[in-house]
Structure 1
C-alpha cells in the first residue's frame, strides 16, 4: 500500500492535543480523522476505514483499551497505538501484551509519533482500509513481516494459472493460504474444494477425484462426478500430496498434462479447467530420492512454491491469534465472562515452542477457556494446557495402515505363514496379497514354526 495516503484515526478527549496530533499527521501526508471519545470513533469508523488507530488510554466513558477490544472484534488485523501518561505505563504494557501494536508515552516528539505510525503500516501492508480489495486474505490473521512478504507473493502468483505447491509444517494454515490464493484469483467466483490425500483409501482416490460411471464396480449404481469435474473453472486443493499412492501419481500427472480426466469405468475423457494447489509437510525431494514420489509429478505440481512459516517464526502474531481464538472459543462455551489473558499468560504464549503451530495454539486457548474461573486466563492454565497435550487421534491413513498390518500379521499367524491359505481367507489373489505384505514389510517365513517344513505356498 502507499503509506503516504494511509488513513489514520486519532482518538483523545483532550481537544488541544487531538488538534495538534491531527496537524502533525496531516502534515506528513496522512489522511486523518479525529474523535473526542471512543464511542464517536466507532461511529466514524462505520464510514472511515483507517489503516492505523491512535488512541489515548485514559478517557471518560469507554477507555482506549475498551476501544481496542471493539476494534479488534471488527478488524482483527488493524494496528492500534495507545498513548499514555507516565502513571499508566504498566497498563499500556499490559495492553501491548493483549495485542495492542504499541504505546507512546506522553509527552512524545513528532518523530517518535511518525516512526511508530510508519512501523505499524509496514507491518500491516494489507489494511482494513483496503477491505474491499483485500478481502481475499481476511481469514489470515497476521501483522508479522514474514507473513506480509508471503501474502504479497501469494497475491502475485494468484493472478496466474500455474500449479502451486505450499510447503509448511502441520498446523500452519496451508489450506487457509490455498483458499486465499483462490479468492485473489480470477477463479474466485468458481468452486474451491479441498481434499486430504492421506485420508482417502487408495481404492477410492481415483473415483473421488475423477468420478466413475454407473456399473464401473460393485456398488456403483449411478454416475459419480469427481472433484476435478465438479471444480471446473475453479481451484482444487490437494492437501498432504506427499501421501498420495505411487500407483495413482501417474494418473494425476496425466490429468495435469492433458487437462482432462477419465472417470473410472469410462472410455471417454472429459476436458477440465482446474487450477491445482497442493500442499505437504513432507520433504518431497527426499521422497523422490527414496522412490516414494514421482519426479515428473513434482515438477508439474511445483511450478511456483510458497513456504508458510512456523508459528515460532512469527511470534508477533501470537497475541492477535490468541485474542482471535479467545473471542471465537468463548462463544462456543457457557464461559462468556473470559475477557483476556494475564500478562504472564501472554508472555508464556509468546515464548512457547509451538511444535503443533497454530492448531496447537487454538487447542491450548480452548482448553484454557473451558477451565477458566476468572475473567483473565492465568499463566497456570496456559502452562497446564501446554504440558497436558490432548491424546492424538491418528489420521484415517494411519489408522488404516495399522489395521492392515495387524490384520495381515494375524492371518499369517493363523495360517503358519502359508500365503495361499492367508490370501484365500482374505479373499485376495496371491499377487495382490504379496503386494500388501511388501507394503507393510511382512515376511511369511517369520510366522512359520521352526519345526514346520510344509511349503509356504
Structure 2
C-alpha cells in the first residue's frame, strides 16, 4: 500500500501520528512544509523508482513556508482523487469552510482524539482504494451500471440482440431506466448509425399524437401551415422508441399496427404512402396482458410488439447496485454543478441500501443531486440524507419459495430478464434489517409497526435512566457485532462478500471482527 503523507511543522504531531499509524500497519512519510511535498511529487513524476505517491495526505493549515489550504488547492489539480485531511489548532468557521470548499476529505481540529484520527485516516484510505478501482476501469463512463445478477442478465440480453433489428418490448416500473436500455439496444445494433428518436405517448395529448407520430400535410387541419415530418420519418434508418405505449389511444393503436405490419403509413391529410424503414422499441410500466383483457389495448398489436420482451428490475431488486450507482450519480451531479464531488460515509450508504426506492434509479439520481447541493460537508453522513430516506421503514423484500413456482416464460421471451426478487442466498436476507440493529444480548421484539428502531430506543432509554456510562459505545458495539455476524452468516463466512454487502471495506470488517472478538471463519 502507498504511504500516508503527514505534513506538519510540529515534530510531536508527526511523531504521534507516525507511531499510531505504524501500529495499524499503515506506512507513513512525513514532511515539515508544503514545499517539500510538492518537490517529492515532482521527483515521483520524474520517475524516482524509490518513492511512491501518497494514499492519503494529512496536513496542518498554518506552517512556515506555505499554507495547508494552498497545498490542498494545488494537490486538487495534481491528484484530484487524493483524500486530504486538514488539521488545525485554529478551529474557526472560515478555516472549516475554506477546507471543504477546496475539496478536503475531512477537517480535524486540534487537539484531536488519536483513535478517532486514525479511524478517519482509515476511512480516507478505503475511499482512496475505491477511487483507484474506479480509475483502473478502462474507457469512458459506462452507459449502464449494474453488478446485480438481474442487471447482468439484461446486459447479456442486449448483447444477444446486438446483431438484430427485431422489435423489443421493455417492461419495468417508472424510473427504472427503460429509455437507457432502449438507447443501448440502438447503440449496439446494425442501425446504430441511424437516428434514435424517442416519444412518450402518455405525455402528448391525443389530438396531437397522431400528427407527432406520422406527420401531416399542409392544410390537414387548422394551423397546419406547412408539411411536417412525424417521428417515424425522423427515425428513418434508425430506431423509434415508443415510451409508455400502454397509454396509447385505442384508435391510434390501429394505425401503429398497420405501420408495423405493412412498413408504410400516411401522413395526416395525406394520400401518398410513406415507406418506414425503422426499428421499433416499445416500453411500458403497465401490465399489457391485463390491458388487453380489459379491452383497452389491441391484442394483435400486443403480439406484434411482444416479439422479444426485456423486463428491467426495480432498484429494490438490485440493492447491491446502490453503492455503485450512488457514487456515480454524485460524480455526475458534481460535474453538472461544477463543484467538487462529495463522498458518502458507509453508514449513509448502508441506510440507502435499506430504502425501497419507489421511484427507482431516477429517485436515487435525484437524491444524489439533492445531497450534492444540500449536504453541508464534503463527506455525506447519515444525518445528511433527505427526510424520505431517514423516516422510511427498512425495506423487506418479499420471500418467494422457489423460482419453479413462477409461470414459465413464453418461448420467445428472453429468460435472462425475467428474474424474480432475489432470495436470501443471492441478495439481501429477508429479515436482515431486524437483527442488524439488535445485539445478541438484546431480545428481539415481536413483529410490530414500531420496528426495531423502537426496540433500540427503549434499550437506550433503559441504559440512560440507569446511569450507564458510555451508552453510545455500548450500543454501537452491540449493533456492529450483530450486523457483522448476520452478514457473515448470510455469506457463509466470506469476509469480502460480507463487507461488500454491508457497504464497508475489507480492512474495516477485519478490524471490527478483531475489535469485537467475533469468532468469524476466514473467507472461503
- How does the TM-score come out when normalised to structure 1? 0.58
Write the mapping of 1:118-197 to structure 2, written as runs, cut at 5 A.
Answer: 128-129=137-138, 131=139, 138-197=142-201
Cα distance between partner residues in 1 of 2:122 and 2:323: 15
Number of aligned positions between the proteins:
301
Give the counterpart of 1:315 among 316, 319, 326: 319
Distance 1:291 1:314, change over 3 A: same
Deviation at 1:352, TM superposition (A): 1.1
Cα distance between partner residues in 2 of 1:355 and 1:268: 47
Deviation at 1:40, TM superposition (A): 12
Distance 1:99 1:310, change over 3 A: farther
Cα distance between partner residues in 1 of 2:125 and 2:153: 27
Cα distance between partner residues in 2 of 1:350 and 1:170: 19
> SS of the residue aligned with 2:237?
coil
Which residue of the partner structure matches residue 339 of structure 1? Answer: 342
Deviation at 1:182, TM superposition (A): 0.3
Question: Retained in 2: the 8 A contact 1:166–1:308?
Answer: yes
Instruction: List per-residue Cα deviations over 1:413-434 (Å, max 9, x = no partner).
Output: xxxxxxxxxxxxxxxxxxxxxx
Cα distance between partner residues in 1 of 2:327 and 2:42: 22
Matched, 1:377 2:380: yes
Question: Retained in 2: the 8 A contact 1:38–1:62?
Answer: no
> SS of the residue aligned with 1:312?
helix
Question: Retained in 2: the 8 A contact 1:238–1:277?
Answer: yes
Distance 1:96 1:155, change over 3 A: farther
Deviation at 1:145, TM superposition (A): 2.7
Which residue of the partner structure matches residue 268 of structure 2? Answer: 264
Gapped regions of structure 1 (runs ≥ 5): 1-10, 14-36, 45-57, 72-86, 103-119, 390-457
> SS of the residue aligned with 2:253?
helix
Cα distance between partner residues in 2 of 1:213 and 1:342: 59
Root mean square deviation, CA, Å: 3.8
Deviation at 1:386, TM superposition (A): 2.7
Which residue of the partner structure matches residue 100 of structure 1? Answer: 130
Matched, 1:61 2:54: yes
Which residue of the partner structure matches residue 235 of structure 2? Answer: 231
> SS of the residue aligned with 1:143?
coil
Deviation at 1:149, TM superposition (A): 1.8
Cα distance between partner residues in 2 of 1:128 and 1:337: 21
Cα distance between partner residues in 1 of 2:293 and 2:43: 63
Instruction: List per-residue Cα deviations over 1:35-89 (Å, max 9, x = no partner).
Output: xx99999999xxxxxxxxxxxxx9642459x999859xxxxxxxxxxxxxxx989
Question: Retained in 2: the 8 A contact 1:144–1:314?
Answer: yes
Which residue of the partner structure matches residue 254 of structure 1? Answer: 258
Distance 1:252 1:305, change over 3 A: same
Cα distance between partner residues in 1 of 2:313 and 2:283: 13
Cα distance between partner residues in 2 of 1:263 and 1:387: 52
Deviation at 1:251, TM superposition (A): 0.6
Cα distance between partner residues in 2 of 1:288 and 1:42: 66
Cα distance between partner residues in 2 of 1:279 and 1:262: 24
Cα distance between partner residues in 1 of 2:45 and 2:268: 57
Which residue of the partner structure matches residue 224 of structure 2? Answer: 220
Question: Retained in 2: the 8 A contact 1:288–1:295?
Answer: yes
> SS of the residue aligned with 2:202?
helix
Distance 1:384 1:223, change over 3 A: same
Which residue of the partner structure matches residue 297 of structure 1? Answer: 301
Matched, 1:361 2:354: no
Gapped regions of structure 2 (runs ≥ 5): 4-39, 58-75, 83-116, 393-524
Question: Retained in 2: the 8 A contact 1:208–1:226?
Answer: yes
Which residue of the partner structure matches residue 455 of structure 2? Answer: none
Give the counterpart of 1:326 among 311, 327, 330: 330
Distance 1:382 1:253, change over 3 A: same
Question: Retained in 1: the 8 A contact 2:56–2:128?
Answer: no
Deviation at 1:96, TM superposition (A): 6.4
> SS of the residue aligned with 2:385?
helix
Give the counterpart of 2:215 among 199, 211, 224: 211
Write the mapping of 1:9-20 to structure 2, written as runs, cut at 5 A.
Answer: none
Distance 1:328 1:101, change over 3 A: closer
Question: Retained in 2: the 8 A contact 1:210–1:262?
Answer: yes
